């Protein structure tokens, strides 16, 4: 909402500086986004009289002027052909900044003659493109006066952000009312003198029904014999300073009232109307060519104003071209109505029309101001275009809007935290237009017709606080109900944080990527169901909810590779989406390693990433989450986006905790990722619930007896899972065996084809007595038997 | 010549031999000759038994003294040679100490995670607990229950992402703010409530200052008496703790949100002198969050009696406060996963924020 200081002052005797007013508005919820103080740049320039203009003694094209700058004469050298006595001109004193160039004007000698300033062109002042001659001001201005104020260029333009609840402040008067209530000046009375109609209206107005929700009140008035044409300068200036284009007096009047009093109206050229005006829903296939030159297809949910020819205006949104006013208009029909906010908003949105009228109607307008609006419009039409007014025709009635709120001034303290004298509270509410009755602890407050946003007691508390100032509410600490703080996060979130910091401490870098990705990528990672595709994405490729975080991380790795960072190690802790229910959102810890394990170093050449690096990351994450690696079962049946032979899943009993391994080369190719790439995915929600209480550890009983280690090597089938052997070895004597360590995997010379050698160290820890040789031998024998049976292998001899 | 003279002579003779020895080997030979099994001193000590009874004690003392003296001299000489040998060995051993080593921790925590952890640390001290909710939401939780009816102008300002309408005519959306969790929490528990809700939010907006996905932290306090004074106190304390500036100016301006009444926007003091933004006392203000007293209608939708309970809510952009605190210039870079950016603006994994440990 744009206005100017001068415009505001037509509604209020302002008793504050511009700065104070701007900060007062801001504190009251009317934030001033921008102030275009046009006067500031023009401040140094003053009105001056050229006393004499003679030829420069040393230059043919220059003039030597004596200039009266108000009680003082100076000498100025000027090159303008139009400089002459006794014209009024704009004088720039030495030291002023020329707006167009930003240069500081210096005293100088031009061709040997001193010049004590400059006479300015419109170009130099940034006011026009005319640099042929200097500005010639109209006679009658005071010599020595400021140029900006003398010519009305000192009116700063304010751009104010109006929140959705304050329809009343979409008119200048609404702003003035808030300022007056805040003690910044006195609100000027608004005179509404009804203009008597001189003849019965030949055009009637009709509503669709007696209780039309789309428009409860519809008024019209014919003014005959008007002369339309450009509006007067003051009105054109008002509109242009807030960025509107003057069109003609009749149209400018409606725009002026829209911004001045928040009362949109429409003017029809009565000569182009065919019969009465009726409000109705648009008919199927009905079309309207609107004033913006575009044709719109309408439907029954849209309210139109129609005459016998059909729809001629979209109620509350935009007028039609066929009945618009032009310079040849002689009879004008002024329309003012109360269109339903919801339908107006829906209509405008469906047709993509954003008009000043729609903007106001959809926020809800003052139901009592329809008739005053048409009276004021009539008055302006008569003033600017003359003519003869007809009687006002009416359909419908002002809808019931009055309501009473029980208001306890004590709530300003108990809800608002401000202890304010009830009398001052009363003054504030009354100055905003509320009618108050009753006394004591509970008052009856009727909000004014223009404040449909005030619905309950909390709204009244807000009005009191807002006008008095939020800065006056004393800040008090928010005390917690216990002496010491309690944990802010539950056990599961604590675990997630621990996983995050564990992965980062493994040299993985945390990324955060979008929850959506291209459907084609989702297809590679489990599917792209329609139900998880946005219907209004911001861009193609940002429309499918991700079924996995991997594609985002892989794409990020490739972007880094393209910037000569081929080795990316990234992880993200975040959501992936199975379906559109709350339960279908899985919290994941997902990571990738791409390229090599690190850059080549003198002490570590690095190596290409492999599936087991991803397994290490996955198990580290699980360990951080309290799941011991020994309890996790690893199966070689990965999801389809992994390499079928170099990846696995992680199970805990029947639960799938996640997967890891090399990313399928076909998937990498489809994503355009160079690779090699490995990754892991952990379902954080699938992890066993952390124990809620009882942090005590089981008692440690260190054995006093010597442990024993024995090595064994077995020749086993080449495709045997190492885990099968390790599990068998661990199971031989669960009390005695504390560790089984695989220390060698060998294939090649000395081992027949189709076989491999697996070598393990088994650590035995007796608890009751030192092991005897016989016991150790017995154990070894049992271990060999068990492992050979479980693996189909043989002890390597 | 008495035996005592003999002993003195032997001591000085042996001492001179030790002093003259040129190697550890020679020292060893002297030791064997004097103290070995058939060494002179050993033999003398063995002969003690042959002496008359009254002389034995004095002679024993002399022999012991002799032996101790020789041992001491031998040890000192041996140590001298050992030290020399070690010095000679060390003189040949070299490592290029300027060789680069793996000293850096390469992993980083994303600034958004770190900022959320900081926010949780501060509000945790004030008795808040973290709550979360789904990103794919219902119209009811995201709008209706927050007092934003279908045609409300505020809905248009939210630029909502929608999913296709289901067969039952149900249309889900991506939450436009973290506020739906207010409703979910209220419906799940009665007051007192004190939660903060960090999480992803989505709006169909994409330019230099908007991202289609971003993060918010929501706060909600509901009890029987919390009023706007505590709202101010709580958020002033937060701003000062978060930015680490004790007297940071904090300003509350009237505003409008459908879900709060009264509503306020909060500015912190800053200076833009010289084109550089500095948080702290200065000539300017910077908007950082929105807040207000929970609208009674929202309490009703949440199944809480507005005649009995009241409280406040607030919401802020995580990226925004992170950008301000850490001087990150561009919003869009948060989601680029550019390794250079992540290394530069990221945090070390062991840098866990807490109020007592520092933020």
* Token pair 């680069």 in the structure block, residue: B100
CA distances from B266 to B232, B244, B285 (A): 9, 17, 9
Predicted local confidence at residue B126, as pLDDT = 96
In chain A, the N- to C-terminal Cα span, in Å, equals 92
What share of chain A has pLDDT > 90, as a percent? 73
Which chain B residues in 255-274 lie under 8 Å from chain A, judged by CB atoms?
255-256, 258, 261-265
Region A491-686: CATH code: 3.30.930.10
Q: How far is A90 from chain B (nearest CA, A)?
A: 33
Q: With an 8 Å Cβ cutoff, are B127 and A545 in contact?
A: no
Nearest by Cα to A495 from A656, A654, A622: A622
For CA atoms A743, A747, A751, A757, give the dihedral sign. positive
Q: With an 8 Å Cβ cutoff, are B151 and A342 in contact?
A: yes
Distance of alpha carbon B109 from alpha carbon B123, whole angstroms: 21
Q: Which CATH architecture has domain A40-150?
A: Beta Barrel (2.40)
Q: In this model, does residue B186 exceed pLDDT 70?
A: yes
Mean pLDDT (whole number) for A159-165: 93
CATH T-level assignment (fold) for domain A2-36+160-187: Phenylalanyl-tRNA Synthetase; Chain B, domain 1 (3.30.56)
Nearest by Cα to A346 from A313, A310, A298: A298
Q: Which CATH architecture has domain A205-396?
A: 3-Layer(bba) Sandwich (3.50)
Q: With an 8 Å Cβ cutoff, are B262 and A466 in contact?
A: yes
Which chain A residues in 267-296 lie under 8 Å from chain B, judged by CB atoms?
none
Predicted local confidence at residue B1, as pLDDT = 47
Nearest by Cα to B136 from B201, B77, B84, B191: B201
Predicted local confidence at residue A551, as pLDDT = 98
The chain-wide mean pLDDT, for chain A, equals: 92
A93-114 residue pLDDT tens: 988 888 888 889 888 888 888 8
In this structure, are residues A598 and A604 in contact, taking their beta carbons and an 8 Å threshold? yes
Mean pLDDT (whole number) for A117-136: 81
A396-452 residue pLDDT tens: 999 999 999 999 999 999 999 999 999 999 999 999 999 999 988 999 999 999 999
3-state DSSP call for residue A173? helix
Q: How many helices (H) and strands (E) does chain A have?
A: 20, 39
Residue B146, number of CB atoms within 10 A of its CB: 25
Q: With an 8 Å Cβ cutoff, are B151 and A601 in contact?
A: no
CA distances from A376 to A380, A513, A698, B85 (A): 6, 57, 88, 114
In this structure, are residues A25 and A32 in contact, taking their beta carbons and an 8 Å threshold? yes
C-alpha neighbours within 13 Å on the C-beta side of residue A604: 10
Q: With an 8 Å Cβ cutoff, are A510 and B106 in contact?
A: no
In this structure, are residues A265 and A335 in contact, taking their beta carbons and an 8 Å threshold? yes
Q: Judge residue A273's burial from the number of C-beta atoms within 10 Å of its C-beta, 0-12 exposed, 13-18 middle, 19 or more buried.
A: buried
Q: With an 8 Å Cβ cutoff, are B227 and A497 in contact?
A: no
Q: With an 8 Å Cβ cutoff, are B232 and A573 in contact?
A: no
Q: With an 8 Å Cβ cutoff, are B262 and A461 in contact?
A: yes
Predicted local confidence at residue A132, as pLDDT = 79
Q: With an 8 Å Cβ cutoff, are B342 and A462 in contact?
A: no
Q: With an 8 Å Cβ cutoff, are A510 and B108 in contact?
A: yes
Q: In this model, does residue B157 exceed pLDDT 70?
A: no
For the record, the structure tokens of A383 come out as 């003033």
Q: Which position has the higher pLDDT, B251 or A300?
A: B251
Q: Which position has the higher pLDDT, A94 or A513?
A: A513
In this structure, are residues A375 and A195 in contact, taking their beta carbons and an 8 Å threshold? yes
In chain A, where the domains are located: 2-36+160-187, 40-150, 205-396, 405-472, 491-686, 708-795
Predicted local confidence at residue A113, as pLDDT = 85
Contacts of A539 in chain B (CB under 8 A): 206
Residues whose CB falls within 8 Å of the CB of residue A309, separated by 6 or more in sequence, listed in order: A274, A322
| B291 inside 8 A of chain A by CB | no
In chain B, where the domains are located: 3-90, 111-345
Q: With an 8 Å Cβ cutoff, are A488 and B129 in contact?
A: yes
- Predicted ipTM of the assembly: 0.88
Region A708-795: CATH code: 3.30.70.380
Distance of alpha carbon B18 from alpha carbon B30, whole angstroms: 7
Contacts of B309 in chain A (CB under 8 A): none
Region A405-472: CATH code: 3.30.56.10
Predicted local confidence at residue B154, as pLDDT = 66
Predicted local confidence at residue B53, as pLDDT = 87
CA distances from A377 to A252, A371, A373, A394, A778 (A): 10, 10, 6, 16, 111
3-state DSSP call for residue A43? coil
Which chain A residues in 504-543 lie under 8 Å from chain B, judged by CB atoms?
504-516, 530-539, 542
pTM of the model as a whole: 0.86
Predicted local confidence at residue A115, as pLDDT = 87
In this structure, are residues A608 and A676 in contact, taking their beta carbons and an 8 Å threshold? yes
Q: Which position has the higher pLDDT, B12 or B264?
A: B264
B123, B262, B294, B333: which to substitute to probe chain A, counting the most A Cβ within 10 Å? B262
What is the maximum span of chain A, computed from C-alpha positions, in angstroms?
131
Asked if domains A40-150 and A491-686 share a fold, the reply is: no
Of the candidates B127, B213, B352, the beta carbon closest to that of A481 is on B127
Q: How far is A463 from chain B (nearest CA, A)?
A: 8
Predicted local confidence at residue B8, as pLDDT = 85
CATH T-level assignment (fold) for domain B111-345: BirA Bifunctional Protein; domain 2 (3.30.930)
DSSP state of A531: G
Residues whose CB falls within 8 Å of the CB of residue B146, separated by 6 or more in sequence, listed in order: B179, B180, B182, B183, B258, B259, B298, B301
Predicted local confidence at residue A84, as pLDDT = 86
Mean pLDDT (whole number) for A459-473: 96
Which chain A residues in 568-597 lie under 8 Å from chain B, judged by CB atoms?
568-570, 573-575, 577, 580-582, 584-585
DSSP state string for A452-481:
TT--SHHHHHHHHHHHH-GGGSPP-----S
Q: With an 8 Å Cβ cutoff, are B125 and A480 in contact?
A: yes
| B309 inside 8 A of chain A by CB | no
For the record, the structure tokens of A481 come out as 């109900």
For residue B295, what is the nearest residue in chain A, using CA coordinates? A458
Mean pLDDT (whole number) for B121-143: 96
| B225 inside 8 A of chain A by CB | yes
Distance of alpha carbon A555 from alpha carbon A671, whole angstroms: 7
- In the structure, what pLDDT confidence band is assigned to residue A694 with cuts at 50, 70 and 90? low
3-state DSSP call for residue A550? helix
CA distances from A469 to A183, A488, A569, B163, B324 (A): 11, 34, 53, 43, 27
Q: In this model, does residue A536 exceed pLDDT 50?
A: yes
Q: Which position has the higher pLDDT, A573 or A143?
A: A573
Predicted local confidence at residue A349, as pLDDT = 87
Predicted local confidence at residue B218, as pLDDT = 96
């Amino acid at each position: 909402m744009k206005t100017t200081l001068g415009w505001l002052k037509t509604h209020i005797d302002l008793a504050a500086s511009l700065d104070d007013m701007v900060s007062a508005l801001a504190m009251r919820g009317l934030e001033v986004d921008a102030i275009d103080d046009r006067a500031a740049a023009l401040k140094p320039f003053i009105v001056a009289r050229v006393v004499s203009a003679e030829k420069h003694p040393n230059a043919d094209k220059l003039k030597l002027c004596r200039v009266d700058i108000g009680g003082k004469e100076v000498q100025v050298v000027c090159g303008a052909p139009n400089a002459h006595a006794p014209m009024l001109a704009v004088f720039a004193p030495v030291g002023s900044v020329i707006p167009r160039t930003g240069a500081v004007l210096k005293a100088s000698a031009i061709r040997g003659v001193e010049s004590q300033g400059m006479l300015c062109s419109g170009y130099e002042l940034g006011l026009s493109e005319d640099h042929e001659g200097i500005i010639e001001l109209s006679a009658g201005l005071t010599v020595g006066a400021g140029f900006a104020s003398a010519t009305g260029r000192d009116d700063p333009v304010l751009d104010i952000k109006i929140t959705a609840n304050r329809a009343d402040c979409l008119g200048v008067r609404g702003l003035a009312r808030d300022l007056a209530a805040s003690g910044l000046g006195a609100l000027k009375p608004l005179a509404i003198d009804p203009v008597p109609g001189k003849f019965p209206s030949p055009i009637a107005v009709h509503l669709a029904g007696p209780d039309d929700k789309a428009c409860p009140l519809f008024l019209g008035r014919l003014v005959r014999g008007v002369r339309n044409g450009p509006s007067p300068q003051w009105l054109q200036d008002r509109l242009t300073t807030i960025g509107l284009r003057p069109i003609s007096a009749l149209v400018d009047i409606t725009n002026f009232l829209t911004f001045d009093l928040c009362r949109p109206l429409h003017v029809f050229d009565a000569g182009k109307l065919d019969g009465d005006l009726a409000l109705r829903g648009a008919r199927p296939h009905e079309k309207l060519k609107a004033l913006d030159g575009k044709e719109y297809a309408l439907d029954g949910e849209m309210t139109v104003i129609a005459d016998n020819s059909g729809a001629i205006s979209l109620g509350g949104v935009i007028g039609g071209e066929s009945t618009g006013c032009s310079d040849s208009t002689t009879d004008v029909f002024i329309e003012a109505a109360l269109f339903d906010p919801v339908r107006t908003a829906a209509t405008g949105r469906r047709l993509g029309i954003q008009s000043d009228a729609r903007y106001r109607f959809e926020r809800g307008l003052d139901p009592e101001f329809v008739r005053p609006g048409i009276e004021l419009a009539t008055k302006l039409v008569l003033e600017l275009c003359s003519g003869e007014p007809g009687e006002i025709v009416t359909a419908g009635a002002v809808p019931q809007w009055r309501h009473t709120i029980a208001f306890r001034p004590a709530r300003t303290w108990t809800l608002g935290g401000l202890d304010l004298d009830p009398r001052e509270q009363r003054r504030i509410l009354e100055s905003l237009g509320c009618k108050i009755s009753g006394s004591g602890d509970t008052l009856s407050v009727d909000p004014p017709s223009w404040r449909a946003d005030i619905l309950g007691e909390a709204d009244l508390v807000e009005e009191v606080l807002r006008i008095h100032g939020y800065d006056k509410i004393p800040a008090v600490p928010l005390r917690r109900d216990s002496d010491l703080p309690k944990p802010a996060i539950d056990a599961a979130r604590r675990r997630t944080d621990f996983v995050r910091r564990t992965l980062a401490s493994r040299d993985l870098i945390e990324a955060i990527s979008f929850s959506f990705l291209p459907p084609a990528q989702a297809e590679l990672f489990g599917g792209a169901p329609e139900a998880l595709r946005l219907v209004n994405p911001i861009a193609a490729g940002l429309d499918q909810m991700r079924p996995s975080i991997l594609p985002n991380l892989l794409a990020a790795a490739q972007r880094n590779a393209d910037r000569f960072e081929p080795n990316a190690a990234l992880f993200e802790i975040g959501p992936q989406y199975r379906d559109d229910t709350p339960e279908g959102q899985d919290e994941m810890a997902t990571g990738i390693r791409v390229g090599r394990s690190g850059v080549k170093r003198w002490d570590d050449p690095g190596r290409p990433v492999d599936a087991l690096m991803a397994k290490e990351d996955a198990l580290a994450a699980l360990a951080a989450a309290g799941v011991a690696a020994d309890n996790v079962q690893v199966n070689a049946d990965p999801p389809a986006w992994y390499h079928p032979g170099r990846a696995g899943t992680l199970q805990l009993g029947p639960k799938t905790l996640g997967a890891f391994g090399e990313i399928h080369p076909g998937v990498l190719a489809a994503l355009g990722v160079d690779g090699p790439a490995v990754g892991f995915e952990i379902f954080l929600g699938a992890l066993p619930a952390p124990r809620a209480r009882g942090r005590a550890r089981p008692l440690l009983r260190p054995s006093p007896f010597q442990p024993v280690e024995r090595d064994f090597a077995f020749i086993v089938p080449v495709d045997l899972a190492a885990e099968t052997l390790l599990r068998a070895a661990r199971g031989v004597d669960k009390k005695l065996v504390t560790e089984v360590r695989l220390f060698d995997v060998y294939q090649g010379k000395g081992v027949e084809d189709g076989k491999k050698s697996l070598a393990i160290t088994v650590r035995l820890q007796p608890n009751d007595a030192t092991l005897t040789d016989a016991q150790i031998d017995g154990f070894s024998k049992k271990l060999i038997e068990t492992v050979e049976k479980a693996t189909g292998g043989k002890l390597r001899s | 010549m008495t035996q005592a003279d003999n002993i003195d002579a032997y001591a000085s003779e042996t001492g001179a031999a030790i002093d003259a020895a040129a190697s550890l080997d020679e020292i060893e030979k002297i030791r064997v000759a004097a103290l070995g099994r058939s060494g002179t001193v050993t033999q003398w000590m063995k002969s003690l038994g042959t002496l008359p009874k009254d002389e034995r004690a004095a002679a024993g003392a002399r022999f012991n003294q002799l032996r101790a003296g020789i041992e001491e001299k031998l040890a000192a000489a041996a140590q001298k040679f050992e030290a020399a040998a070690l010095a000679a060995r060390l003189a040949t051993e070299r490592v290029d100490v300027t060789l680069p080593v793996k000293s850096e921790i390469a992993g980083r925590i994303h600034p958004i995670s770190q900022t959320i952890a900081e926010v949780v640390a501060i509000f945790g001290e004030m008795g808040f607990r973290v709550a979360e909710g789904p990103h794919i939401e219902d119209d009811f939780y995201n709008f209706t229950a927050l007092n934003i009816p279908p045609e409300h102008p505020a809905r248009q300002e939210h630029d909502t992402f929608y999913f296709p309408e289901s067969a039952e005519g149900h249309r889900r959306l991506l939450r436009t703010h973290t506020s739906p969790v207010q409703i979910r929490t209220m419906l799940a528990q009665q007051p007192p409530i004190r939660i903060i809700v960090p999480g992803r939010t989505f709006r169909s907006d994409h330019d230099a200052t908007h991202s289609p996905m971003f993060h918010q932290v929501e706060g909600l306090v509901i009890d029987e008496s919390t009023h706007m004074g505590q709202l101010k106190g709580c958020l002033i304390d937060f701003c000062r703790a978060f930015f680490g500036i004790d007297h940071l100016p904090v300003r509350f301006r009237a505003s409008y949100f459908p879900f709060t009444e009264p509503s306020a926007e909060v500015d912190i003091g800053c200076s833009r002198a010289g084109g550089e933004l500095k948080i702290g006392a200065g000539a300017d203000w910077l908007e950082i969050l929105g807040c207000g007293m929970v609208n009674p209608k929202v309490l009703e939708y949440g199944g809480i009696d507005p005649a009995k309970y009241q409280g406040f809510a607030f919401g802020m952009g995580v990226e925004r406060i992170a950008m301000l605190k850490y001087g990150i210039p561009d919003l869009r870079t948060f989601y680029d996963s550019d390794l250079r950016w992540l290394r530069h603006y990221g945090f070390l994994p062991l840098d866990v924020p807490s109020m007592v440990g520092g933020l």
